């Protein structure tokens, strides 16, 4: 986080107009490259660790502090938002790379590797732009990026609440949206209004710089941010309750034979407030499956790989293997469940059950997570089957008075035996 704050401070102090008008990501690469030349490997790796757990709110707070403290700052607000967007996306990139183990400091020492880390993280759209020509919606805040393009929050003076706009800035993804527009709209409308699925508003593929989806905006951040945020500074939510809500939304989709295909904490959002609700977002890769055809096994591995690698099942890497798409969603949900319990965005180790036990998780709940991550023959068939199994889930640990003996783990293990 120190490095991110230093970057904001340095950019706020820039006095060269040519630098301000140039590429922000090029400026970041240049500054970070110079910083690594005078920093030890230990210092760089310590910074990588800090960046991996920084939240979007932390980054925006650091930006506000740096720019507000410099009364002579010449950086336009749109350029400030570009730098904020780059820092948001860099932090997520570091976090995802760190999920597979400690990230090597060579990424920051090598300009080429640093460019790879920052590849595609500079927003194409800009703060203050209209969503499309003659649109009343104005881009205000960059929310994130993915392989498809970027997401922004926009406001409309004549509308009471903001909306989220997902722009397909990548040429291939834009062509995909144009080709799949009718089926995608049908899928999103078929989902209807559900308490735990983000509402779909509109899709536009013509007469705009980039095709886009318009969606309900939730201001509470993502589940990924909640996981990495300090426990004292986040809304109080029980992993059990989070999973119940996610499974409820996903089961409703699976009941309509709609699979999500990119379940991950970044695509699970929170409403604002001290008691937030959970909603599944980004059904942009969703697909309608025919459960009667081939027993629902419709995706050939490798040929049909979509989604995020960390959350894909092992069979996705096996050439020619047919997979049940709903089971891919269940596997991804098992990874999310594990990450919720351990409080980290990481790949479950081989002995993940022992790691879960070290977090005081009961045997029955560990068994449910194991079935989510099991071989397809033993894995839950879909989210509806998992939802049915959650009805006998052991209650979470509750607070107890200091000084009283805490025997909850014994009671929970006993309840676990009743749930089998």
| Residue at 378 is within a domain | yes
Total number of domains constituting the chain? 3
Q: Which residue has the higher pLDDT, 300 or 166?
A: 166
| Residue at 122 is within a domain | no
Instruction: Specify the range with the lowest mean pLDDT, choosing from 20-34, 117-131, 216-230, 288-302.
Output: 288-302
Q: Which domain holds residue 153?
A: 138-216
CA 251 – CA 184 distance, rounded (Å)? 19
- CATH code assigned at 240: 1.10.510.10
Structure letter (DSSP) for residue 185: H
| 144-189 pLDDT tens trace | 887 678 899 999 999 999 999 999 887 777 777 787 777 778 787 7
258 and 405 assigned to the same domain: yes
| 403-418 pLDDT tens trace | 655 555 555 565 555 5
177 and 262 assigned to the same domain: no
| β-pair type (278-280, 287-288) | unpaired
Beta bridge partners of 130: 138
- pLDDT score for 85: 87
Max Cα-Cα span within the chain: 70
| 225-273 pLDDT tens trace | 999 888 888 888 888 899 999 999 999 999 988 898 889 999 999 998 8
Q: Which residue has the higher pLDDT, 330 or 238?
A: 330
CA 125 – CA 135 distance, rounded (Å)? 15
Say what the pTM is. Answer: 0.82
The per-residue DSSP string of 107-148 comes to HHH-HHHHHHHTTT-S-SS-TT-BSSTT-S-EEEEEEEE-SS
Instruction: Please check if 166 is assigned to a binding site.
Output: yes
80 and 202 assigned to the same domain: no
- pLDDT score for 41: 83
- pLDDT score for 415: 55
47 and 74 assigned to the same domain: yes
CA 380 – CA 330 distance, rounded (Å)? 7
- pLDDT score for 144: 83
CA 376 – CA 16 distance, rounded (Å)? 59
200 and 229 assigned to the same domain: no
77 burial (CB, 10 Å; 0-12 / 13-18 / 19+) is exposed
| Residue at 124 is within a domain | no
CB 264 within 8 A of CB 332: yes
| Residue at 133 is within a domain | no
CA 354 – CA 361 distance, rounded (Å)? 10
Structure letter (DSSP) for residue 359: T
74 and 150 assigned to the same domain: no
Structure letter (DSSP) for residue 219: T
Beta bridge partners of 138: 130, 155
Tokens of 213: 């989806």
Please report which helix (H) or strand (E) contains residue 340, including its range: helix 325-342
Describe the crossing of helices 56-68 and 77-98 by its angle, rounded to 10 degrees.
Answer: 140
| Residue at 387 is within a domain | yes
317 and 390 assigned to the same domain: yes
CA 246 – CA 173 distance, rounded (Å)? 26
256 and 333 assigned to the same domain: yes
CA 411 – CA 353 distance, rounded (Å)? 19
| Residue at 172 is within a domain | yes
Q: List strands edge to edge, sheet with 138-145.
A: 138-145, 150-155, 163-167, 212-216, 200-204
| Residue at 129 is within a domain | no
| 344-359 pLDDT tens trace | 999 999 999 999 999 8
Q: How confident is the model at residue 118 (pLDDT cuts 50, 70, 90)?
A: low
* Integer angstrom CA distances of residue 31 from 82, 160, 301, 370, 407: 16, 41, 42, 45, 54
| Residue at 208 is within a domain | yes
């Amino acid at each position: 986080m120190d490095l991110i704050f230093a970057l904001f401070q340095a950019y706020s102090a820039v006095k060269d107009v040519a630098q301000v008008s140039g590429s922000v990501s090029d400026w970041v690469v240049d500054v970070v490259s110079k910083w690594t030349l005078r920093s030890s490997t230990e210092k760089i790796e310590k910074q990588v660790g800090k960046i991996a757990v920084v939240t979007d709110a932390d980054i925006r707070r650091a930006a506000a502090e740096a720019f507000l403290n410099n009364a002579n700052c010449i950086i336009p607000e749109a350029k400030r938002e570009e730098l904020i967007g780059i820092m948001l996306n860099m932090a997520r990139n570091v976090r995802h790379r760190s999920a597979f183990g400690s990230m090597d400091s060579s990424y920051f020492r090598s300009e080429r590797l640093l460019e790879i880390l920052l590849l595609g993280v500079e927003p194409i759209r800009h703060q203050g732009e209209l969503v499309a020509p003659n649109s009343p919606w104005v881009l205000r805040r960059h929310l994130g990026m993915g392989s498809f393009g970027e997401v922004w929050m926009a406001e409309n003076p004549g509308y009471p609440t903001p909306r989220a706009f997902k722009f397909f800035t990548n040429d291939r993804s834009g062509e995909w949206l144009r080709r799949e527009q009718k089926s995608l709209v049908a899928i999103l409308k078929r989902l209807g209004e559900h308490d735990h699925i983000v509402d779909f508003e509109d899709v536009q593929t013509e007469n705009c710089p980039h095709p886009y989806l318009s969606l309900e905006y939730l201001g509470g951040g993502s589940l990924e941010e909640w996981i990495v945020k300090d426990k004292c500074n986040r809304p109080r939510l029980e992993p059990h309750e989070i999973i119940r809500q996610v499974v409820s939304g996903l089961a409703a989709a699976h009941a309509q034979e709609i699979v999500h295909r990119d379940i991950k904490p970044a695509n699970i959002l929170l409403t604002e407030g001290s008691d937030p609700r959970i909603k599944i977002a980004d059904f942009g890769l969703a697909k309608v499956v025919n459960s009667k055809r081939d027993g629902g096994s419709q995706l050939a591995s490798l040929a049909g790989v979509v989604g995020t690698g960390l959350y894909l099942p092992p069979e996705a890497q096996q050439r020619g293997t047919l997979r049940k798409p709903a089971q891919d969603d269940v596997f991804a949900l098992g990874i999310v469940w594990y990450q919720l319990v351990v409080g980290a965005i990481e790949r479950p180790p081989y002995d993940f059950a022992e790691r879960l036990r070290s977090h005081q998780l009961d045997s029955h709940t560990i068994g449910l997570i194991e079935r989510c991550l099991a071989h397809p023959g033993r894995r839950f068939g879909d989210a509806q089957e998992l939802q049915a199994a959650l009805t006998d889930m052991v209650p979470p640990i509750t607070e107890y008075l200091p000084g009283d003996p805490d025997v909850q783990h014994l009671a929970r293990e006993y309840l676990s035996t009743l749930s089998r």
